[in-house]
Amino acid sequence: MNYHIYIDADACPVRDETYRVARRHNAPVTVVANQYIRVPKEPGFTFRLVDDSFDAADDYIAEAADEKSIVITSDILLAERVLKSGGRVLGSNGKLMTMDTIGSQIAVRAIMADLRAGAEQPNLGGPAPFSQRDRSRFLEALHLLLVK
């Protein structure tokens, strides 16, 4: 199956890695953002500028995604929308999101948002810093998705 890769490009640390794997597999890539991001000037690589309204990039990706799509994002709510359309979702850390795991990820997101909203809560921090191991895991996971 020939997949089309969509990148939720705002704050995506693995754009270059995605381009490298996409070239190897001849997979088209669409980079979506609400501000200009440079993409390779090569056939198969496109940039889609959306307006800066709330969730405009997510809406574009969710509407475009289908069972022949791989979406690169860390946005759990976008991931759920893509999964419901039959697409595949890969986090920038190389972790595949599935219908079996997305429910618990959404629940954890909601709990963390509630905890952060508490006035007297300690600093809960955020996700762990992006590491070389995450980058390697991502490269391998994207390659495997494209060859399946």
Q: Where are the domains of the chain?
A: 4-147
Beta bridge partners of 45: 29
The mean pLDDT of 96-116, rounded to a whole number, is: 67
**Is it the case that residue 113 has pLDDT exceeding 90?**
no
Look at strands 69-72 and 96-97 and give their pairing.
Answer: unpaired
24 band by pLDDT with thresholds 50, 70 and 90: very high
Please, which residues have CB within 8 angstroms of residue 22's CB and are 6 or more apart in sequence? 5, 28, 29, 44, 45, 146
For residues 13-36, average pLDDT: 96
- Between 110 and 68, the more confident residue is 68
> Model-level pTM greater than 0.95?
no
pLDDT over 60 at 95, yes or no: yes
Distance CA 93, CA 138 (A): 6
What is the topology classification, in CATH, of domain 4-147? Rossmann fold (3.40.50)
pLDDT surpassing 90 at residue 86: yes
Long-range contacts of 103-111, Cβ-Cβ distance < 8 Å, separation of 24 or more: 105/76, 105/79, 106/76, 106/77, 106/80, 109/76, 109/77
User: Where do runs of H (alpha helix) occur along 1-148?
Assistant: 15-25, 56-64, 76-84, 99-117, 132-147
Spatial separation of the C-alpha atoms in residues 110 and 115, rounded to whole Å = 9
Average pLDDT, the chain: 87
